[in-house]
Structure 1
């Protein structure tokens, strides 16, 4: 029976201790607040705070009661005969009687708060510091969580990007295979004429033409989609190219490099399909326009042209047998000018660069029947398509750079293009859109030698 009572008493004591541990004072758990107050008392007593002897006895008694519970003379150690202070402290502790540990802690805090006004600000400062540390910890955890989520998102995006790249690469290969099957015979014929009896060089040229054909074909698709979107009245955003549809289009498209079959005797007609294959040009600008115009003007004067209002100037530059690449530079005084580059697939009779000036209603002969094909009309809109001119009456012409208005009065426009074969480059400087203003054009054109590349 006594055992049951002892067990029940212990259970009640444990319940009370749990309840005491959950008690809150000054927005802090009582146990934590008591530790802070006790540390304050030990640190400041006799320094920042000065208490009477009786007050110190009571405070120490509260600490003994909070630490050990009710005073028990049987377990207390013996005091010396002359230990007056120890005897007084035991009497103060014994006077607390049955006060619980929790009540002793509260009494200690209340008494110290009453005797020392700086206790509460001290506790508040510690509490704010703790809250700040807790806030920083939470922020760091939150940032760590965000970084983890971002990393996870990046990994997912990377995976999706890799999958998309793989899909696009497979679609690109399918499209290239479809285009290569369509153009292989034409490219083979052209390569055999360029490198007779040299299968290795023929294979290299065929692969180069196939790659150029693929890029040209994609440019055509982009140009067609851009033109279609621009012509829509609802001004919808530009549609992306569907590579799956491109494969089907390439397999069905019989208009690119297919009309010119084997068996034609005329070289231009026989190779006109190949003439359409041409790589894009590289174009950039540089700012030293003043020095450039001075250098051009200081020469023989052939690089300075007066382009009248409504006129178009065509600079015909033959490919050089010792060259691999053409370069051009141009600028104007005060106003912009239209500029484009074309390639005429014909064997040059000389290396002489010639300049032809025509009025807007008397354009060069290769534009007479193909204004729409070369983007005639508004220069701001650019070409409708980038297909070469094919006619039995004149050499085929491929578009390298469509005619657009260039702000060449502010900076120098520079460009280059790798020779696609023998022919004549046509550099078009178009002022046909200007009704009143004439333009002064400064230009230079030159080629890159084979020995410069080898060195």
Structure 2
């Protein structure tokens, strides 16, 4: 019975041209556009994933493919060292017989035979490889583009640095004169400015230093302007108007420098205190105007983003925390994360299986009734629609569609019935199937972060997304 099965299930190996291994490697790479080892690796993955689903092979074809994999992994069959088979192990004898039929075929010939057989048996294999090759080419183009941008940015930085050095060399003398005046003024006002900065930013020494510096700069500018007015009034009886109009900033600096050197104690303390209080009041008004944009909302800082490895460990951790979901073809998933009153920064991490996905971050200026993280899904053909909750794709342009240019951000948003949204990170495709993408962003205020995972560009593939969001101080 066993001998009969062996003769009826005899497997003929795929005919591969008899040439050197180097010739096989070159010809296969020309045919597929990828190295033979890469084609074989993708073919083996394709066979394990699609067998019984996208393709149904006969028993003989399966024996042939298994024999090629054994020849690739272990070389020609050595009957003397092979483990004995059981009496009833019919499949094992058939597989060993198919493997033995390959004879002294080399590893590369076995790889090529496996790929040719799979291509002949399943027409979907070639488009599968073409899609992989296209993804690799896209990634290569993105890397080249990023390198060009970095090189251009570096050249620009070098030009800027050279220009700064030229400007510094030409203005060195003038800056020395100005610095002497500033030092004298700062010595008189530092204590008062420090007290005010400590009231505005208690415990934050960096912000205090920035505020003191800004106050000192404004104090200097306005003091110089006041000095010019005083000088014109003092010389009005002996200098005509034409000579007075020709005075420039350099003469003002020299006069003030001499004045401070000759008699630094001539400043009226009472007038100085009144003047400094006015400086602080003016700064508060300017600070409020600068801290808000044209729409009445604070400016949004740039997000910090980076990547890291350990994708498999991150996926397991995300699954354990419930951060796993499917993004269907043509869909966009929005993860809504409200700000937390005890935190100052939002952090996120995400990765996918096998394929990339688009990612972007927005901030919605609205007050969430809860601190719960919610997930919303929209399809590509819903882009022109806005649902009742205002989560459609047009929510990100609401500050641009108002017909009244005099409306501020809050009034324009109210006119459209939805809260305004600020862009933090634009949506781009991320290679998050090869590494974990992470980032953080400091709260611009109270609201809701919108993490957009965009798969609208993919008409055939769904994506499995793993993500984490958390707060930090």
Q: What TM bracket, shorter-length normalisation?
A: 0.3 to 0.5
TM-score by length of 2: 0.36
TM-score by length of 1: 0.37
Highest CA radius of gyration, 1 or 2? 1
